[in-house]
Each structure stands twice: as structure tokens, then as C-alpha cells.
Structure 1
Amino acid sequence: MSSQTLQPRAKYAPLPQDDETIEKPAESKTYALIRWSTIVLLLCTVVDVFLVLSLVLRSDREVFSSTPASPTSALEMPNMYINFDKLYNGTIQENRTFPPIVNIPRGMSQVSSAQPNKVFPQWPESWLTIYGSVPINSRRLWVSPEVSTIVQFRVMDYGMENCSLVLTIPPAAENGTDILVSDLREDQARVDVWALSTSKRLDPQTLTWKTCPTRAAHVGMLAASYNETHELPSFACRSGSYQAFELSCAGSGCGLDITALNGQTAVGLYMRQYQTK
């Protein structure tokens, strides 16, 4: 062994042993960036889905809200008799007389003061055919201390603008042919008729005691009896207009529940239009 004194080695940093050790810090930063980016994207997606669902639910609530008429009901109906007033302003002289026309109600629905939010089903009875169930176009006039019937007409034709409401009940022996009488107490079958304060088409799918238009005027009282026809005094009715009425009990009690089974037969409640020009 040499007598020469050994010098201590200088300190040095150890070199990396492989490539994985060299790339690890860079890879950790990349993974962290991807992870946080994914979290942010997921949060944004959740927020977007929540906002879309909120808009859809809000739109549905607005569409199906309880309103007495559909949004399009405020639009004026097309008039097929344009300029007829100019033709009949005195330049045309005619003495022709036309018989009254029968106007069948466009809709009859019930509302109940005991169930102010209830919507009564429209045409609940159906015929079973080879094509499926077909609703029966029946017209029910049901009046009780709690239930009123809402009826609406659309005035037809031109120059037939004098209208009156009519109630016709055939003989008791004909019950079940054109009309079905479920309840008729002749001593108490007295019905008040009220004109409603609306000129719009009513929507039976949303019509309730709460959403029903208010009463505007008392038109008269109808008395229901077998084999009789009762007609109220006439009133002015503009061609093409909607006329809505409420039929309620006259007095503390009444009993009336009749259903016209034939959609085009002048039985039950209907309207007559008389010539004015």
C-alpha cells in the first residue's frame, strides 16, 4: 500500500437511473391538467342540463296553465260574408222571407261550486268500432244546486242575427231515442240562463268553476217539461260571433239532467236564429 495520502472524493448529484424518472414530473402536471379540465367540463354539462330542464318545465307549465280559452281564441274568425253589408245597404230590394235556422251548441260543459277546480270530462261515452273508440257527440244539460252547465254557440249565416235559446223535451215515451232524461222533476225544473262576459271560444279542457267567465246579464228562465218547447226572448247576435251562457238553478233547488244523444237533432237545448235582413 502506497504511503501517499488518499484525497476525499468531491460530492456530486446522482444521475437519474432511467427515462421514467426523468419524465415523471412533466407527466404529473399533464395528468393534473386533464383531471381538472374533465371536472370543469362535467360541472358545465350538469349546469347546462339543469338549465334546459328548467326551461322545458317552465314552458310546460305555461302551456297547460288553467285558462278559460286557448291563446288562439282571441283571434277574429274569418268572415265569409265580406261586403254583404254594402250589397244590402238599400241598393238591393228583396222581400224574401227565410225560416229560422237551428243552431246546435258547439260545446256544453259542467262546472261545480263544490269542486271549483274540477274539469269535467268532455264526451266521456264512446262507441267501440272496428277503427277504435269513437266519442259520442252528446250534449248534456245538467243543473243542480252545485252544478251549472256552460254552453257556447257560434252564430251562423248572414242576416240571421236575431237569436233565442230554446229547450225542447219530447214525450216521456220517447225517452232514450233522441234524448235521455236522467232527472226531470217538473215541479222544480226551473233554470236561470245567464249571458257570460266573453266573446272568445271557451276551452272545455280547462273550464272550471274558477276559470269560468263571469255573468254579464240575466237572459231569462227556462222551465223543463215533457212534450213541451220553451223559448226565451230574442237578443241581437252578430254573425260569426261566439255566444256563451251559464244555466244554473232558479231558486234554492232544482232537478234537471237531460242528454241529447243525436248531435244534429233539435232536442234539449239549442238556439234559433231569425232573419234580420
Structure 2
Amino acid sequence: MSPTSAYVPLLHSDPDAHYDDGVFENDMQSKESFEQPIITKPHFSRVVYWTCALSLLFSGFNLLILGFKITMPNVQSSSHLEYASSYIGLDTLYKNRTPSQFAPITSFPILIAQVNQSDPRAVYLDTHRWSSTFGTVYPEDRRVLLTPTVTTYLQFWAGDFGMERCVLKLMVPSAVEDDVALSNVVTTLQVWQIKTPGKLDVQKLSWAHRPQRSDLVASWVVRPNSTFQSMEYRCPSGSFQTFELSCLDSGCLVDFHQKPKQKDLGFWLLQHSSL
């Protein structure tokens, strides 16, 4: 090719080519149909349907139970349930037998607590303790305190079979200056029996929520070097024996700590054989 020859651009398409108009239209229609979005109707499977139905059913059932709980009366606390006897059948075994002679059982109170008339809603918890080289020690002794406004409650557990004749005993030693604080005035102590179905709740015991009195067991004028006993009464096996100690005279005072190993001081429940 000579340098003076003119440049002729190539054709982009063959001018002699002839296209079929029908083929072109079909191709455009298929392209348009491909570009259009496919719209499908929502479809729920049976699993989703039954899952929703069961959820609604259980929700309604829970609401029904909640409604029953609201309308039902309060269930009695387990602390007021009767203690099951561990001596089933022994009463039949000892029937028509020669009366047995057993030594009396002396029981230490399982609970000693105070209430205060001058502070009706106060709850007094005896949690005295002391620290030692091997940890904190909670001693077994419990305080007995009586004043014109302070009342003390005692509770015993009469759990033994055939020991259902009980006597409440109070022992005051002679060395009162070391163990017992007594007022100089006459101190008249009244002992009331309390009917309780179970153990007293010391977490709630106060003057405003004190248990109701039942019978007057004894009335004693407390002096040093004295021993007092109530009349004998029946204490069924497997029962709680609860007493209220109150002071009648103005200015009266009884204050001491009762210990399980010091048998000559404090209140004790004597259980005698009833067989």
C-alpha cells in the first residue's frame, strides 16, 4: 500500500446481511420476560402452621393455670403440718401390759425468745457469739428475761413414746449474784400454756404477732435457792409444748442465761412414763 492511499474504515456489519424480523422479535420478547421479576404467592408449610397453633394452645393453658392460682386459697405452710409418728403400732404392743417404770426425761428448751410490749413490732433474735482462734463460736446458752414489759416464750419437743405425763420445772440456785439477776421486790411469775400446731417462727415473733394464751399452768413467787414445779399434765408424743412467761409486779426482774449442761438453773420439761 502506497503512502498516498486513502484509509477506508471497515464496516461494523455486513450491509448485505438480512435479518429475519420474526427471530428478532422473539429474541426481544424472551429477553423482556427474563428481566421481569418473578412474583410468587406466600406459602406456609404445615410445620409452621402447627407450631403456631401449639404455641397459642400452650399460652392459653398457662393463662388458665395462672387464673386458678389467683383464685385458689393459700396453701397451708409446711411448718404447720403434723409431724409423722415414728412409733406406729407401739400403743397396741403395750396394751394390757404391766405398767413399765422408766426414769423421767429432762428436756432442754428448743427455743427461748422474747417479745417487748414497749416495742410491739420488734423481733428479738438471740444470735450472741464470740470469736476464737479456730473460728466463730455460737454457744448453746439462751437468755431468759422477764420485766414488766418483756415476756419470754419457751418451747419444748415432747417426742418420746410412752412419756406423756409432763411437768414444767424451774430451778433457781443460791448463788444468784453469779448466774441470776433478781429484783429486790416481790417477783410473781405466771406461766401460760400456748396451743401451737408447730414450731414458733422466731423470725416473725413479736408482741404484735404473739401467739394466744390457752391455760394458766402455774404462778410462782421467784426466790433464790428455790425449785418450782407445775401440776402434771398430758403431753402427747410428737408434740410441741409451748409456754409464755410473764411478770406481774411492777419493777420485777428475772434475767439469766440457761445452759444445757447446767441442770440446777432454768426451765426444764420433765417427761414421766405413761405406760
> Normalising by structure 1, what TM-score?
0.67
Cα distance between partner residues in 2 of 1:275 and 1:158 = 9
Show the counterpart of 1:205: 203
1:95 deviation in Å?
4.3
1:230 deviation in Å?
0.8
Show the counterpart of 2:40: none
TM alignment of 1:135-150, pairs within 5 A? 135-150=138-153
TM alignment of 1:55-70, pairs within 5 A? none
TM alignment of 1:211-226, pairs within 5 A? 211-226=209-224
CA RMSD of aligned residues (A): 1.9
* Pair 232,253 (structure 1): closer, same or farther in 2 beyond 3 Å: farther
Q: Is the 8 A contact 2:100 2:273 kept in 1?
A: no
Corresponding letter in the other structure for 1:273? Q
1:99 is paired with a residue of what secondary structure? coil
Cα distance between partner residues in 2 of 1:111 and 1:210 = 9
Q: Is the 8 A contact 1:188 1:255 kept in 2?
A: no
> Normalising by structure 2, what TM-score?
0.67
Cα distance between partner residues in 2 of 1:238 and 1:74 = 17
Q: Is the 8 A contact 2:183 2:251 kept in 1?
A: no
Cα distance between partner residues in 2 of 1:73 and 1:114 = 29
Cα distance between partner residues in 2 of 1:192 and 1:145 = 12
Show the counterpart of 1:49: none
Radius of gyration: which is bigger?
Answer: 2
**Number of equivalent positions:** 199
Task: Establish whether residue 99 from structure 1 lines up as the match of residue 99 from structure 2.
Answer: no
Q: Deviations over 1:200-219 (max 9, x none)?
A: 11011221111111111111
Higher alpha-carbon deviation: 186-195 or 161-170:
186-195
Show the counterpart of 1:265: 262
Q: Structure 1 residue aligned with 2:113, among 103, 109, 113? A: 109
Show the counterpart of 1:156: 159
Structure 2 segments unaligned to the other structure (5+ residues): 1-75
TM alignment of 1:1-277, pairs within 5 A? 71-90=77-96, 93-124=97-128, 126-172=129-175, 176=178, 180-181=179-180, 183-185=181-183, 187-260=185-258, 262-266=259-263, 267-277=265-275
* Identity, % of aligned positions: 33
1:199 deviation in Å?
2.2
1:132 deviation in Å?
2.1
1:253 deviation in Å?
4.3
Q: Deviations over 1:66-120 (max 9, x none)?
A: xxxx932112223221111110121xx3343112110110000000110011011
* Pair 243,95 (structure 1): closer, same or farther in 2 beyond 3 Å: closer
Q: Is the 8 A contact 1:104 1:264 kept in 2?
A: no
